[in-house]
Amino acid sequence: MTDQARPVPTLLEWMGGMPALTRLLETFYAKVPSDPLLAPVFAGMSPKHVEHVAAFLGEVLGGPTTYTESFGGHGNMLRRHVGRGITEQQRARFMHLLLESADEIGIANDPEFRSAFVAYLEWGTRLAVVNSQPEAKVGFDAPMPKWGWGETKGPYIP
């Protein structure tokens, strides 16, 4: 097989598949209970939280459609954030701890992967902040995001 015939891996494949994503989330969520900004956001977190978030992110990053098939798709994830009042400081801390965890466990750190991965995390966390506010008009019928090696989603129009 020549280089031209090789399929481009998904972001999930590039980072090491579901085992790497699950390890990343386990590492991250182990830090959350002792973090003063994030602990309140995740208080009462389900024991299945890591599994559900891994299924969601895995699907977004090009993996199987487990979250849509088993947990209700993007609309269900949006419902999880409604009314939570997530602050910009909490969002930024989430990003910091998640990327710190990625470095800690050796998730791919090449510029191409990290820029695509961070682009999704920035988009998704900012959307979570917007949709978590009391006055938010949430589009529960929004399709499941699919993120690749250079995605943009256009302007947010409430």
The pLDDT, as a whole number, for residue 116 is: 95
The pLDDT, as a whole number, for residue 62 is: 96
The pLDDT, as a whole number, for residue 5 is: 74
Domains in the chain with CATH codes? 10-132 (1.10.490.10)
Q: What is the mean pLDDT of each successive set of 10 residues along the chain, which is 158 residues long?
A: 76 97 97 96 90 96 95 88 93 98 96 95 94 90 90 63
Per DSSP, which regions of 2-157 are E strands?
none
Tokens of 79: 């419902």
Residues whose CB is less than 8 angstroms from the CB of residue 122 and which lie 6 or more positions away in sequence, other chains included: 95
Residue of 135, 119, 122, 121 lying closest to 85 (CA atoms): 135
Q: How far apart are CA 29 and CA 19, in angstroms?
A: 15
Report how far Cα 122 is from the mean position of its chain's Cα atoms.
9
The pLDDT, as a whole number, for residue 86 is: 95
Q: How far apart are CA 67 and CA 109, in angstroms?
A: 26
The pLDDT, as a whole number, for residue 158 is: 56
